[in-house]
Amino acid sequence: MLKIDNLSATVDGKAILNGISLEVPNGEIHAIMGPNGSGKSTLSYVLAGRDGYEVTGGSATFNGQDLLAMEPEGRAAAGLFLAFQYPVELPGVGNANFLRTALNSIRKNRGEPELDAMQFLKVARARMAALSMPEDMLKRGVNVGFSGGEKKRNEVLQMALLQPKLAILDETDSGLDIDALKIVADGVNAQRGENFSALVITHYQRLLDYIVPDRVHVLVKGRIVKSGGPEVALELEKDGYASVQEAA
């Protein structure tokens, strides 16, 4: 599914990613943990195609396609989804209009018919109910005035609607209350299957109790310093980053 090979990137001339190699096979969920500023969000932005990052070496392929050569919308159309650590507010853009435009853009690319307003509403309502989101969030501006947790739920709603092949969840658990955490985890687990993979960025072992990862990677100073099974997260929870930081 996703294959990152020796990827390096700079921001404003500053090296942030220093040779990351990582492979997420079909159907697997991998977690990335690491101290603040280690480059987790940078990795997710580089994969999603945000401007301002210069890839200075290495490669990233998505189902065999050269991910780094594609426009952001092309990556989304190919099945990549990034749940933002800090979802962006879009004043004046209605959430329903935004979600429907996004969904129809993706559907068009898949060769599926576009949904009209009524059809969309039906699908969206069902997904929102599953995420315990009040329906009036459709009427509001995208993320405008949403609480931290509501923004994160709105990200998960987008994931549920767009049905990506690979979801990168950048601290989607931060700011969620305990019930919301379970709801969001259920949302991710519901997607699990042969054709869904995820890269879950988190600071908290607790999320990984609900979304049990196949592998856990530890990112320090733009490099993966340790990889292993779910037990890696438990060790970090106990000992902190001190031991792995020495390794980096």
Partner 1 sequence: MNAVSGAARFSHRFEGLRERLPGARLPWLTALRDGAAATFATLGFPTRRAEAWKYTDLAPIGDAGFDEPLTLLEGSVALPPAGAARAVFVDGRFRADLATLDGLAFSARSLAGALDEVEGPLGALAQPARDAMAALNTMLFEDGLLIDVQDGVDGGVLELLSVATASERPQAFHPRHLIRLGRGASLTIIETAMGTAGAAYLHNPVFEIGLEEDARLTHGRLQQESRAGFHLSTIYARVAGGAVYDNFTLNAGARLVRNEIHVALTGPKGACHMNGAQLIGDGQHADTATVLDHAAPDCASRQTYKTVLAGRARGVFQGRIHVHQAAQRTDGYQMNQALLLSEDAEMDSKPQLEIYADDVKCSHGATVGALDADQMFYLRARGIPEPAAKAMLVEAFLIEAVEQLPEGLLRERLTDAIAGWWQGQEAAA
**Shortest CB 223 distance to ligand ATP, Å:** 12
Tell me how far apart the alpha carbons of residues 189 and 77 are, in angstroms, rounded to a whole number: 22
**Shortest CB 117 distance to partner 1, Å:** 16
Contacts of 190 (CB under 8 A, 6+ apart): 130, 160
Residue 71 interacting with partner 1 (CB under 8 A): yes
Residue 85 interacting with Mg ion (CB under 5 A): yes
DSSP SS3 for 56 = strand
Scanning 51-204, the segments in alpha helix (DSSP H) are 72-78, 95-110, 117-130, 148-162, 178-191
Q: Are 23 and 197 in contact (CB under 8 A)?
A: no
Tokens 């492979």 — which residue?
23
Residue 8 interacting with ligand ATP (CB under 6 A): no
Return the residue of 3, 5, 11, 78 that touches ligand ATP, per CB under 6 A: 11
How many residues contact ligand ATP, by CB under 6 A? 13
Q: What backbone torsions phi and psi does residue 3 show, to the nearest 5 degrees?
A: -135, 115
Residue 66 burial by CB count (10 A; 0-12/13-18/19+): exposed, middle or buried?
Answer: exposed
Return the residue of 48, 55, 121, 234 that touches partner 1, per CB under 8 A: 48
Residue 36 interacting with ligand ATP (CB under 6 A): yes
Contacts of 12 (CB under 8 A, 6+ apart): 52
Per partner kind, with CB cut-offs from 5 to 8 A, the member of partner 1, ligand ATP, Mg ion, none near residue 136 is: none
**Shortest CB 114 distance to Mg ion, Å:** 34
Tell me how far apart the alpha carbons of residues 127 and 129 are, in angstroms, rounded to a whole number: 5
Residue 172 interacting with Mg ion (CB under 5 A): no
Which of 100, 223 has the CB closer to ligand ATP?
Answer: 223
Per partner kind, with CB cut-offs from 5 to 8 A, the member of partner 1, ligand ATP, Mg ion, none near residue 105 is: partner 1
Binding site for Mg ion (CB under 5 A): 40-41, 85
Binding site for partner 1 (CB under 8 A): 48-52, 71-73, 75-77, 82, 84, 87-88, 90-93, 97-98, 101-102, 105-106, 109, 158, 162
